[in-house]
A = this chain, B = another copy of it.
Amino acid sequence: MKISELSDRSGLPVQTIKYYIREGLLPKGAATAATRAEYAEEHLERLRLIRALREVGDLPVASVKRIIGAVDDEAVGLHELLGTAAYTLSPAVEPRPEDPDWRSAREDVDAIVAELGWQVSTDAPTRDLLAQAFLALRRLGRPIVWTDLRPYIEAATIIAEHEIGGIPVEGERGQAVQTAVATNVLYEKVLLALRRMAQENVSARRFGDGTEDR
């Protein structure tokens, strides 16, 4: 199909498609002449993935590029792919080992991971992410305690078991891998939306007078 057709079918401006090609998010079409190229169904599929990650996942273009690179790399297995995604998805938190407060928060994280017996890489950015949240909570006078943390750990475990368990071990790479990453990102948003809804629900029952519709 022509680029204008790709544009129509994807709902994206031609300019944006060209931009994605320039940035390496989307492969070029097969050139049929100096000023003509043919786009396939895969291009449309890829655009859908890009838009899902951009609009719903709110990922920067650079992150989308990294993830797509891992998806396209046939040598990358599912486990590594999920790792790449997790690493890429974590907003870069630069650790500051010189700050004693930071170190303390990071040590709390490490202690918790050890306590749980979780197999999480020592240099996983998620550890820093968690440490950053711990540090902020402490600064606000709300240091974390086990009691507060337990429900989150429980919830995270429930979800992760289901998510990883749902990934087919056998079968071909490709479509499966592509959606594995996308669903990972998308279901994160599902979880957040559901948490907020559940909060509103519980809050309405506890504090509301039952009549308000906001």
Contact = CB atoms under 8 A, between A and B. Distances in A.
A12 interface: no
B198 A157 contact: yes
Most chain B beta carbons < 10 A, residue from A120, A157, A159, A175: A159
Interface residues on A, range: 35 or more
Interface string A111-154: 00100101111111011011011101101111010001101111
A158 interface: yes
Contacts of A78: 203, 207
A202 B161 contact: yes
A201 B136 CA distance: 25
Given A119-B200, A119-B208, 5 more contacts: A82-B199, A127-B197, A136-B186, A140-B183, A153-B194
Interface string A52-85: 1001101000000000000000000111001100
A110 B17 CA distance: 34
Nearest to A141: B179
A3 interface: no
Interface string A143-180: 01000110111111111111111100100000100010
A14 interface: no
Nearest to A180: B142
Given A58-B91, A197-B118, A198-B160, A155 B191 contact: yes
Number of this chain's copies in the assembly equals 2
B121 A196 contact: no
Nearest to A79: B207
A150 to B, nearest CB: 8
A187 interface: yes
A202 B160 contact: yes
A182 B213 contact: no
A142 B52 CA distance: 12
A193 B90 CA distance: 8
A140 to B, nearest CB: 5
Contact of A119 (B86, B116, B201): B201
